[in-house]
Structure 1
Amino acid sequence: MADQVLTIADRINTKLDELTRAERQLAHSILENYPASGLGPLAALAKGAQVSVPTVARMVQKLGFNGYPEFQAELREELKAKVQNPIAKHDTWAEGAPSGHVLNQFTDAVIDNIRHTLAQIDPDKFDEACAMVADQSKALFIVGGRVSHTLAEYLFLHTQVIRPDVTHIQSTSNTWPHYLLDVKAGDVFVIFDVRRYENNTLKLAEMAHARGAKIILFTDQWRSPVHQLADISFSGRIVVPSAWDSVATLMLLVESMIAAVQNADWAHTKNRMEQLEDMFDQTKLFRKFT
């Protein structure tokens, strides 16, 4: 019976060290165009990955499936979930909604999302991404989508205080190509793209990648098409008992990144913060109870 918690991509990443060379080759081939890559005939998947049919059969069993048909059935369910709109997602939850108050239901789902997300993240990769964001020798560009722009704005607000040369690009704006004029090889893009993946975001990523930019992607468990261009990807679980997806897990990752980046050069960060506070005092933006 297919595991209802881990996606097939999760299973593959968890099992990579246990796979043979041929099986790892197959695994990477599946992940390159996941989940659509495994929806064709078994022989076609084997041919595309340049491995034997028995190699496919063995790896499918190692992933916990009784056979290729069960493997494909799970992929189809994932693909269906990947493209669900808010109304369809609400209907799915309404059919089997657990008892209890919505606060408990929602909290349980978010905690479960966090637990499984963190289990899949490589701490070394996270540290590498934070170092890229903190590197002041490279320009930093941050971009989100229709909903995920809130995460992009949050990260931008904080990194703008921490370091110079940070740009927030609105992916839905017809002016974003202008920003690409200044992109140099090695500059860093942090991109947020979750299901109902946006064409504008993918096009922006393609153009940034073509100019030699490095891409850090925050996405969901099914992974945005931008994943194929990203240097580092973080997949957060987003499913909750709601018509809308939850960004709580991605927000946790963002806030963890902010904490790491501010400490990368605290003396510099502190100096910028002190200057900013002085400006706030001059503008009397905040009330002071002294």
Structure 2
Amino acid sequence: MDISQDLTVAERMRSGFEELTRAERQLANAMLANYPVLGLDSITAVAQVSGVSTPTVVRMAKKLGFAGFPEMQAALRGELEATISNPIAKHDRWAASAPDTHILNRFADQVMENLRQTLRQLSPETFNAVVALLSDPSRTVHMVGGRITRSLAEYFFTHMQVIRGGVVQVASNANTWPHYVLEMREGDVLVAFDVRRYEQEMLRLAEMARAKGVLLVLFTDQWGSPAAKLATHSFHARIEAPSAWDSSVVTLFIVEAIIAAVQDENWEETRARMKSLEDLFDQTRMFRKFV
């Protein structure tokens, strides 16, 4: 099993899942369902919770490219530290080993590597399934983001609102979320954005929506939000950057690709909505005209 050393443990499990034995798949599913917490326990506890033997834990660790369980566990500890890092810690980590090149070049190199790594992990089947859900007029689509990612949710909402009806932008104030959940119906779709340092309210919203039969489409990072265990579909975008802040470039790339695909799926309806909207813009003289 040829797996890049740059991948997280979760990415290694997902990318190599088909090559695992039945018991190893059972173990991988258990670890992904409680990631990374389960993997930080003793090897005996990991085996017992997963319903497999301790040799199975060792074998899977080696299949994932580790020397053994202790090395895999060390990688998980490093990931956990990364997910809870504050902006100052992230900046200092990058600054300590920054090469003597312009920030534009360093940032561009990292963003391109993020895109390459993400595309290697992104399943076309998952992408197509999400497009199908968002194109289904019988489903109301609710969109929500966190403290930083709410701008991505708003961007996605603005485009989707033009493409189709039945799209709701959930307010960023978590105190109002029960009001939005009240209006959700079984079969609806909740599109949520949650990256490190994962927000507790987002997990609670996902739990409330899931209890009503709402399907969760989650945009998260390479480590994975705790809400991922409740998601019908998840996009794990690489977000590392030579900055105190995480990069949203790859996440936005996936969002824009979905917008283009959903637009094409129901183009006649979208075209009619666009024309009506342009007429309204003309009435309000919102945009400057040169003729």
TM category (shorter chain) comes to: over 0.9
Q: CA 1:173–1:73 in 2, change beyond 3 Å: closer, same or farther?
A: closer
SS at match of 1:175: helix
Deviations 1:206-259 (A, max 9, x none): 111111101100000110111011100000000010000000000000000100
Give the Cα separation in 1 of the matches to 2:176 and 2:82: 32
Tell whether the 8 Å contact from 1:217 to 1:234 is kept in structure 2 after alignment: yes
More displaced, 178-187 or 164-173? 164-173
Residue 11 in structure 1 maps to residue 18 in structure 2: no
- Residue in structure 1 matched with residue 87 of structure 2 by the alignment: 86
Give the Cα separation in 2 of the matches to 1:274 and 1:3: 48
Q: How does 1:195-274 map to 2 (within 5 A)?
A: 195-274=196-275
- Residue in structure 1 matched with residue 180 of structure 2 by the alignment: 179
Residue 280 in structure 1 maps to residue 262 in structure 2: no
Q: TM-score, normalised by structure 1?
A: 0.98
Deviation at 1:171, TM superposition (A): 3.6
CA RMSD in angstroms, aligned pairs only: 1.1
Give the Cα separation in 1 of the matches to 2:118 and 2:108: 15
SS at match of 1:207: helix
What stretches of structure 1 of length at least 5 have no aligned partner? Answer: none
Tell whether the 8 Å contact from 1:146 to 1:172 is kept in structure 2 after alignment: no
Q: How does 1:37-52 map to 2 (within 5 A)?
A: 37-52=38-53
Give the Cα separation in 1 of the matches to 2:124 and 2:46: 32
Give the Cα separation in 2 of the matches to 1:278 and 1:259: 22
What stretches of structure 2 of length at least 5 have no aligned partner? Answer: none
Deviation at 1:3, TM superposition (A): 5.7
Equivalent position amino acid for 2:231 in 1: A
- Residue in structure 2 matched with residue 33 of structure 1 by the alignment: 34
Q: TM-score, normalised by structure 2?
A: 0.97
Give the Cα separation in 2 of the matches to 1:209 and 1:243: 33
Deviation at 1:49, TM superposition (A): 0.6
Residue 67 in structure 1 maps to residue 76 in structure 2: no
- Residue in structure 2 matched with residue 145 of structure 1 by the alignment: 146
Deviation at 1:40, TM superposition (A): 1.1
Give the Cα separation in 1 of the matches to 2:152 and 2:256: 10
- Residue in structure 2 matched with residue 122 of structure 1 by the alignment: 123
Give the Cα separation in 2 of the matches to 1:177 and 1:118: 35
More displaced, 252-261 or 10-19? 10-19
More displaced, 137-146 or 176-185? 176-185
SS at match of 1:87: helix
More displaced, 264-273 or 29-38? 29-38
Tell whether the 8 Å contact from 1:237 to 1:249 is kept in structure 2 after alignment: yes
Deviation at 1:183, TM superposition (A): 0.8
Give the Cα separation in 1 of the matches to 2:176 and 2:98: 43
Equivalent position amino acid for 1:47 in 2: Q
Deviation at 1:4, TM superposition (A): 4.8
Equivalent position amino acid for 2:75 in 1: E
More displaced, 98-107 or 170-179? 170-179
SS at match of 1:244: coil
Q: Which consecutive aligned stretches of 4+ in structure 1 deviate over 3 angstroms post-superposition?
A: none
Deviation at 1:30, TM superposition (A): 0.9
Count matched residues: 289
Deviation at 1:176, TM superposition (A): 2.1
Tell whether the 8 Å contact from 1:145 to 1:170 is kept in structure 2 after alignment: no
Q: How does 1:98-113 map to 2 (within 5 A)?
A: 98-113=99-114
Deviations 1:5-57 (A, max 9, x none): 10011111111111110111111111111111111111111111111111111
Give the Cα separation in 2 of the matches to 1:32 and 1:39: 13
